Structure 1
Amino acid sequence: FFPGTVPAGETLLLAVSRSGTTTETLRAVDRFREAGNGPALTVTCYPQSTLAQQADFALVAPDAQEQSIAQTRSFTSMLLLTQALAAVLARDEGMLERLRRLPGALEDVVDRLGDLPRRLGEDQDIERLFFLGGGPLYGLASEAMLKTKEMSLSYAEAYYPLEFRHGPMSMVNGHTLVVGFLSDTALMEELRVLQDM
């Protein structure tokens, strides 16, 4: 937590921790409160956790609790919960409607992919993976990298698409899988990076 980065005046801190016991997150909330900056809104999967108990406002997703090395359900649930919160605070009915349609849209994607995920997972020739995402999608690329490392102990890295073109792209060969999280705002530039592989 970097107190000097908090704007002057009343500020809302959003603190996220799956377990609600992450040391760094708890310290950040403590320091934020000590500075008297404003209320803390927390997102966690455990209602009795220290983080939830310390919060002025707590959003809890108990159904997202899981016992796994790769925390996929909890991450996805907390991401969707914070997106819904942002849509409500912004009074963005369009975003809320897109979130409501998400389960059906994901079923369509799974149907279109067919057995591709299984085939890629079984492909012993893939030695390294790169996940590319720009803007808000960089966080998803980083999370995909982390999950890949946790679940398969594979070499994986995350980059911004245009950053990847300048150096890391030289590591791509016939044993590399490159996954692009494509944005609406930079779609053509991101597609060009993928086409350059």
Structure 2
Amino acid sequence: MHHMYSEIQEQSQVLKTCYEANLEVLEKVAKGIFERGIEFIVFVARGSSDNAATFGKYAIEIFAGIPVSLAAPSVASIYARKLKLDKACVIAVSQSGMSEDVCSFFEMAKECGALCVSLTNNPQSRLAKVADFSIYMNVGVEKAVAATKTFSAELLLLGMLACLLSKSDEELKKLQQVENVVKEALDKENEIKLFVERFRYMNECFVLGRGLTYPIALEFALKIQETSYVRAKGFSTSDFMHGPIAMINSEIPVFLLGINDETREDLLQTAAKLNEQKIDVYSFCDIPEMKDFVKKNVEFSSNGLSRILSLTVLIQLFSYYLCILKGYNPDNPRIIKKVTVTK
């Protein structure tokens, strides 16, 4: 059995543990942000963690109204510049907590007076030792190169933080049901396995999302790239219409990720426009009308931010089975390693 498969399957339990183990420290982080009069939040991350950080940006801005930016780590690691961060909370997101460029930016932020929060799966990491608050995913060692349970844990924890910063007990309670949410998504494994069959010879695709699903589209594209070596390109639906749509043709499938929130009409319009152009569109979506515009829709049920976790599990299963279908080993992808060291 592949590590990637095992780690996808164990998420219902490990994410439940992750929620329970981190609620108290996240409450302290939110309190610290309020007490320090923090005016903005800066995320620093790479790879899958950067996609999770992008989700954190959307969730915190939408729910809590606090401006959030994504750091350019090279500003510190390559250019050795310092930033005015005394009114900022800098959150470093990293599975290993050891990436050189992320650590360099985080250490610079601490020197510049930022409130520093680390989110890692290694409580002894370099990031954790620098942080004012250290959040430990507590999901066990992730052996697969492709991040699954650590990515989901990052989404969960950043969603919880967004709820605490917005003082939304209702949304937090929805995330508390993460064990059941993930189990329901995992129950669609056979459906996903059959769905994947039609993509055996796919070598290029587009993956689109909007708002909270945009970061998951980026992650889906990354998972397909690193495990199946498909040229997958992730975009926001709005950015896609501003130029990249010119690359589309009837030989390139489009995957559309959606949830039934304020992005609903945009997603339906995007699907309709692609359908008019005779493009094969496939979706992972809880918008009932989406089925009228796509070749196949994988439905899921949950609500609030927990929908993002349902969606994430589904795209992880798809990525795993596509890799297997193409005859590759998801635990041993070409060139890349578990911890990527970049400066």
Q: Classify the TM-score, shorter chain.
A: 0.7 to 0.9
Q: 1:29 aligns with which of 106, 110, 115?
A: 106
Which whole-Å CA distance do the structure 2 matches of 1:196 and 1:5 have between them?
44
Instruction: In structure 2, give the amino acid aligned to 1:101.
Output: Q
Q: 1:67 aligns with which of 143, 147, 170?
A: 143
Instruction: In structure 2, give the amino acid aligned to 1:15.
Output: A
Which whole-Å CA distance do the structure 2 matches of 1:116 and 1:169 have between them?
27
**Residues 22-101 of structure 1: pairs in structure 2 closer than 5 A:** 22-36=99-113, 38-101=114-177
Aligned to 2:270: 193
> Any runs of at least 4 consecutive aligned residues in structure 1 with deviations exceeding 3 A, and if so which?
1-6, 105-114, 116-119, 170-175
Query: Closer, same or farther in 2 for the Cα pair 1:112/1:46, shift >3 Å?
Result: closer
Instruction: In structure 2, give the amino acid aligned to 1:196.
Output: K
Native 8 Å contact 1:133 1:160 kept in 2: yes
Q: Which moved further from structure 2: 139-148 or 128-137?
A: 128-137
After TM superposition, the score normalised by the length of structure 1 is 0.85
Native 8 Å contact 2:202 2:230 kept in 1: no
- Determine whether 1:13 maps to 2:13: no
Which whole-Å CA distance do the structure 1 matches of 2:164 and 2:133 have between them?
15
Percent of pairs with identical residues: 26
Which whole-Å CA distance do the structure 2 matches of 1:179 and 1:40 have between them?
37
Query: Closer, same or farther in 2 for the Cα pair 1:110/1:177, shift >3 Å?
Result: farther
- Structure 2 counterpart SS, 1:42: strand
Alpha-carbon RMSD: 2.4
Query: Closer, same or farther in 2 for the Cα pair 1:115/1:173, shift >3 Å?
Result: farther
Q: 1:176 aligns with which of 252, 274, 291?
A: 252
**Deviation readout 1:63-83 (Å, 9 max, x if unpaired):** 243122211111111211121
Which whole-Å CA distance do the structure 2 matches of 1:195 and 1:5 have between them?
45
Which whole-Å CA distance do the structure 1 matches of 2:188 and 2:145 have between them?
28
Aligned to 1:157: 233
Q: Which runs of 5+ in 2 are unaligned?
A: 1-72, 76-81, 275-343
Q: Which runs of 5+ in 1 are unaligned?
A: none
Q: Which has the higher contact order (CA 8 A, sep 6+)?
A: 2
Report how many aligned residue pairs link the two structures.
Answer: 194
Which whole-Å CA distance do the structure 2 matches of 1:5 and 1:35 have between them?
7
**Residues 83-122 of structure 1: pairs in structure 2 closer than 5 A:** 83-111=159-187, 114-120=190-196
